[in-house]
Amino acid sequence: MTHPTPVPSHPVLDPERRQHVSGAFSRDEVALANRNAGMPLEMLRHDVTPAGMHYLLIHFDIPFVADAGWSLDISGSVRNPQRLSLDAIKAMGQVTTRVTLECAGNGRATASPRWQSQPWEHGAVGTAEWTGTPLRGLLERAGLADDAVDVAFFGADRGFDGGVEHDYGRSLTPAIALGDDVLVAWAMNGQPLLPQHGFPLRLVVPGWYGMASVKWLDRIVALDKPFDGFQQVSTYVYKRTREEHGTPVTAMRVKSLLVPPGIPDWYTRRRLVERGTVEIFGRAWSGAGTLIRKVELGVDGAWSEATLDPPPPGRFAWRGWRARWTATPGEHELACRATDANGDVQPLEQRWDLGGFGNNMVHRVAVTVR
């Protein structure tokens, strides 16, 4: 099976390649921010994010999908190519997993200079209960051939990036694709997927940054060489220079966020808090099923350990944490910092990355106490 090499056959739409910028947001960044909503941080209170409050990242257009007639093709290096209807997929058994998903670009907007793209601050994260059938069952039915070294997943959405036209597509190695955790999901929080979350079918790759969880999934192609699609090799790679080979973005890095306390100023979102005891609440998570070991609350640079809530079901959802702060009048900075079971801890400063990926620096919130 040879995969069509993406060659720009149309006038290149982004011939210059975008540049890094500092300062004011461009009109293009604002337009993207209006399409791709973040989760308001007060929604961290919910164990499971209400579907309409889960963050969204959609590269191209949301495909219009009529109710009936969807099918999923499995082809390439397989012994028994498949075309499966939704009903056939649902009949293959179902599981529900609670999964925290974060966009790899979360926090990009706070880098300087920043890559011109979706200008996320902190909200590109959410937790949902995804219901679907394990991907493994589908791949076993198709039977991966001995020469299959990669498995590519394509959505029904198509567009340009960097001048390259392509269907949104990502791949997983057979070892990961045949693992226990990856789902082909048709429901979110007990309801059919919303159009913006991939109706009628999507991949959910727990423990990974969101780019792997291909929405509007209509094609799986087993490959005899590593997938070279745009979203696999031309982005979602950690690197500091264009020349570098870099490291692919995969599992989420350990991270925590806090619900900004008190009340906000409408325009600046600055916080106003009454003096006295303030209950601080937040969430922490890591990638690849790694559990959270510790969360610390920082007050004006001094750290103390927070109390962890009971663990969530499974290994893939965020964990609540809480702490008490005795607020004294004046200006203060709150921060939170998580450590996972591997001993990985959030950095105090943002690592600079060309595409603005994997930013897990501690979350800081400025507060005025009266």
Q: Which residues bind ligand MTE (CB under 6 A)?
A: 54-59, 101, 103, 155, 157, 168, 197, 210-211, 213-216
Candidate ranges 100-108, 148-156, 186-194, 327-335; the one touching Mo ion (CB under 5 A): 100-108
Cβ proximity to ligand MTE: between 214 and 365 the closer is 214
Taking the complex as a whole, how short is the minimal distance between the CB of residue 338 and ligand MTE, in angstroms? 20
* One residue of 32, 56, 57, 125 binding Mo ion per CB under 5 A: 57
> Strand 237-238 relative to strand 263-264: parallel, antiparallel, unpaired?
unpaired
Taking the complex as a whole, how short is the minimal distance between the CB of residue 168 and ligand MTE, in angstroms? 4
Cβ proximity to ligand MTE: between 215 and 315 the closer is 215
Per residue, the 3-state secondary structure of 57-105, as one string, reads: CCCCCCCCCCCCCCEEEEEECECCCEEEEHHHHHCCCCEEEEEEEECCC
Cβ proximity to Mo ion: between 200 and 358 the closer is 358
Preceding peptide of 40 cis, ω within 30°? no
Cβ proximity to ligand MTE: between 197 and 319 the closer is 197
Taking the complex as a whole, how short is the minimal distance between the CB of residue 212 and Mo ion, in angstroms? 9
DSSP 230: H
Candidate ranges 11-19, 20-28, 34-42, 56-64; the one touching Mo ion (CB under 5 A): 56-64
Burial of 143-178, coded b for 16+ CB within 10 Å and e otherwise, reads ebeeebbbbbbbbbbeebbebbbbbbbbbbebebbb
Burial class (CB in 10 A: 0-12, 13-18, 19+), 242: exposed
- 355 is a site residue for Mo ion (CB under 5 A): no
Q: Are 359 and 106 in contact (CB under 8 A)?
A: yes
The residue of the chain with the least Cβ separation from Mo ion equals: 103
- 101 is a site residue for Mo ion (CB under 5 A): no
Q: Which residues bind Mo ion (CB under 5 A)?
A: 57, 103, 210-211
